[in-house]
Amino acid sequence: MNALLTVEDLHVSFPGKGRRAPRTEVLRGVSLDVGPGETLGLVGESGSGKTTIGRAILGLVPVASGTITFGGRRIDGLAGRRRRALARELQVIFQDPYTSLNPARTIGDTLAEPLLGLGARAARERVATLLDRVHLPADAAHRLPREFSGGQRQRVAIARALAIDPKLVVCDEPVSALDLTTQRTVLDLLLEIQEQSGVSYLFVSHDLAVVRFMAHRVAVIHRGRIVETGDAATVTTEPSHPYTRGLLLAAPVADVAAQRARREAFERYASSAAER
């Protein structure tokens, strides 16, 4: 198996509040890998450390120990020019489409940001191609983010991530701020792009249904540790770890009878968990 991204025994901690306070361990030995053209879903609750994994891979938080290998090179601890060179291959889509675009810059300006080396004319052409690829009108380049809905802004963020044909995109809850129908169109767009370009996704989400829809394999993270990894269909239907089972049973389904059965199952699970 020749993985594109390998994370081994990753530890990340943040300074505690106050000078003497102990550091808070956010990741306690996380290992995972993402193959070329593959989507690895990373599921967890708030505070589980799932977002921190993505940020550590992108070099936005310092790594305490462990290794991150991307395309055969160690990338943990890279800084300055060498980290910037990685931008061609490693990109991100953030959760909040409202704060991830600079409100004072036009869409075209934002999209041209990763293309600064290209020259104005080539960059303009590339921006037009990108907008077309995420199904936004060409005149969007001249408008400001506030003129767009959440779903449209997320398309812009996707276009920015794709600007220089990366190999891996870290998607940090890319649809959780969007409406249901919008969510679906954005997910479909991500799948379409993957089919065309063979890009890999590390898809971070709290929503099992979204992860199941997107991912080939799923890793479940709980309190800074991966508790279960496996094939998406298996992990999301017959999880082996009790924590994952709880997550699965707690997610309500849009069907009255099925949800009643699921609720009873969750209550049984909760009471048995309380006994343990």
Partner 1 sequence: MSTPSGTPPRAPSGTSPDAPPGPLPSEPPGAPPGAPSRRSRGVPARVARHPLGLVSALLLTAILLAVAFAPALSPQPPDVSSLRDAFGGPAAGHPLGFDSAGRDILSRLLHGGRNTLGGAALALAVALALGVPAGLLAGYYGGWFDSAASWVVNMIMALPAMVVLLASRAILGPTVWVLMVVLGFLVAPAFFRLVRGIVAAVRGELYVDAARVSGLSDTRIVARHILIVVRAPIIIQVALVSGIAIGLQAGLEFLGIGSGDAPTWGAMLNEAFKNIQRAPSLLLWPGLALGLTSGALVLLAAALRDVLEDRGTHRRPPRRPSRRAAAVARAAQPHEPRAALLSVRDLAVAYPERQVVHGVDLDVHAGEIVGLVGESGSGKTQTAFAILGILPETGRIAGGSVTIDGQEIVGLPERRHRALRGNVVAYVPQEPMSNLDPAFTIGSQLVEPIRHKLGLSRAEARERALDLLARVEIADPERAFRSYPHEISGGMAQRVLIAGAMSCDPKLLIADEPTTALDVRVQAEVLGLLRRLQRERDLGVLLVTHNLGVVADLCDRVAVMSEGRIVETGTAEQVLHAPEHPYTRRLIGAVLEVP
C-alpha 3/C-alpha 272 separation (Å) is: 39
Q: Which is nearer to partner 1, 70 or 148 (CB)?
A: 148
Residue 171 CA to chain centroid, in angstroms? 2
CB of 127 to partner 1, least distance (A): 13
C-alpha 176/C-alpha 43 separation (Å) is: 13
Q: Which is nearer to partner 1, 66 or 246 (CB)?
A: 246
Q: Which two tokens stand for residue 6?
A: 């390998």
CB of 119 to partner 1, least distance (A): 16
Q: Which is nearer to partner 1, 8 or 89 (CB)?
A: 89
CB of 65 to partner 1, least distance (A): 22
**Whether the Cβ atoms of residue 90 and residue 171 lie closer than 8 Å to each other:** no
C-alpha 50/C-alpha 125 separation (Å) is: 36
Query: With b meaning 16 or more CB within 10 Å and e meaning fewer, what string describes 98-135?
Result: eebbeeeebbbebbbebbeeeeeeebbebbeebbebbe
CB of 164 to partner 1, least distance (A): 8
CB of 66 to partner 1, least distance (A): 20
H helix or E strand, kind and range, residue 10: strand 5-14
